[in-house]
Amino acid sequence: MQILSEQDKITTVEKGSIVTPLGFHTAGVAAGIRYTKLDLGVIFSEKEANSAAVYTTNLFQAAPIKVTQESIASEGILQAVVVNSGCANACTGSQGYEDALKMRALTAEKLGVKDTYVAVASTGVIGEYLNMEKVEQGLAKLTLGSSSEDAEAFQTAILTTDLVMKTCCYSAVIDGKTVTVGGTAKGSGMIHPNMATMLAFLTTDANISSESLSTALKQVINQTFNQITVDGDTSTNDMVLVMANGMAENHSLSPEHPEWSTFVQLLRMSCESLAKQIAKDGEGATKLVEVEVNGAVNDSEARWVAKQIIGSSLVKTAIYGADANWGRIIGAIGQSQAQLNPETVDVAIGPIKMLEKSEPCKFSEEEALDYLKGDFVKILVDLHVGPGKGKAWGCDLSYDYIKINASYRS
C-alpha cells in the first residue's frame, strides 16, 4: 500500500477562494475612502468561528490591530472581519482607537452579531484619520454573497499599491470529511514580516478550537509569512487572521488528533502560497526570488540565513540587473551571524554552481545571464554544518520601487 506524504494529501481547489469553505460570504464596495476604487470589504461566517491571529511586531501598532486583539481575546470567536484600504488608521491616537471601535460596532449592527465577534483591519497611509462618515455609508451599501464575484470584490477592496489580487484554496480529507482552507492577502511594499504592511485572511470550515488553531498558525507562520521580504521595513497594521466555523463537521482537531499534521500542512500550504504571491508582487518587482538554505545547524538558522540573503539590497539589485554576482550572496551569509564554516559553503544560482566548498566554480556567464533574465530566480546554499533547512522569498529591487514609494501619498 502506498503511503502518502502530508503534501500529497492536499488538493488544490481550482478557482477556489475565501468563500469556498462552507458558510462564508464576502462583499466589497467603493465607500469613497480611495476615491472611486473598491475600498471597504467584509468577510462573514454563517456560524460563529473559532479564530486566531498573529500581528505586526512593530511597536506602533495601529488602532485596528488593538481592537481585533480585544475581539479575539474576548471569547476566541469571530463572525466577521471588516477591512478598509486607503487609510491605515495608524498613529492616530485616541480618536483612531474610537474610530476603530465604531467601525467594529457599525459592522456588528449591520450583520446582527456581537461587537466582539468582529475583527477590524485597515491599510493605507499612516497618520491620517479615517473618514467614518464614508465608512458608515459604505457599510450600508454592502450586500454579502458567496460567488466568485463577491470574493473578488473583497479581494480588490483590500489592495493598495498591489498590482494583482492574491488568493488560494486547498482542501484535504480529514475524518472522512472534506476540509477546505481559502485565503486572500494584500501586500506589495513595506514587507519584512514579523509581519509587514500585509494583511492576510484565511477561512476554513474545519472543526478546531481557537487554542489549537492558534497553535497551528504559529507553527506555520515562521516558515511562510515571516520568511518573505520586499524592502526590510515592517509596518504598523500587519495581521494574519484565520476563522474556522466547523461546518465540515470533522472531529475537533488538536495536536492529539491522528490527522493533525494533515491540517497543519493544509494551513502551511495556504500561507506559503499567499506569502509567495506577496513577494512576487513586490513594488516595482520583475522577479520572484526563492532562497533555499540547507546544511545549517538547525532550521531556525537556515531560515535566518535565507532571509538575510533575500533581504540584501545588493543581492536584490544584482538579480534585477541579471548579474551573477555570487560575492554578494556570500557577503549576506557572512553578516547573518549564523554558525558556519567559511571553508564549506556551496552556492548555486538556479542550476549553475557558483561556489563549492567555498571554492569558485567555473561557469558560463551567458548561461547565468539567460537564467537571471527569467521571472523566477532560485538561490541555493548549503552550509554543510548541520541538518537545518529553510526557505525565504522576496523579489528584485528595481528603479520602479523608488518611483512608487517616492510618491506614495499622491
Question: Which residues form the catalytic set?
Answer: 197
Three-state SS for 268-301 is: HHHHHHHHHHHHHCCCCCCCEEEEEEEEECCHHH
The C-alpha atoms of residue 368 and residue 321 are separated, in whole angstroms, by: 12
CA atoms of 7 and 318, how far apart (whole Å): 34
Distances (CA, A) of 352 to 128, 363, 367, 396: 49, 7, 8, 19
- Which H or E run contains 347? strand 346-349
Angle, helices 260-280 vs 210-221, to 10°: value is 50
- The distance between the two most distant Cα atoms of the chain, rounded to a whole number of Å, is 68
Distance CA 314, CA 319 (A): 9
Helix (H, G, I), strand (E, B) or coil at 46: strand
Q: Which residue is it, cell 554558525?
A: 339
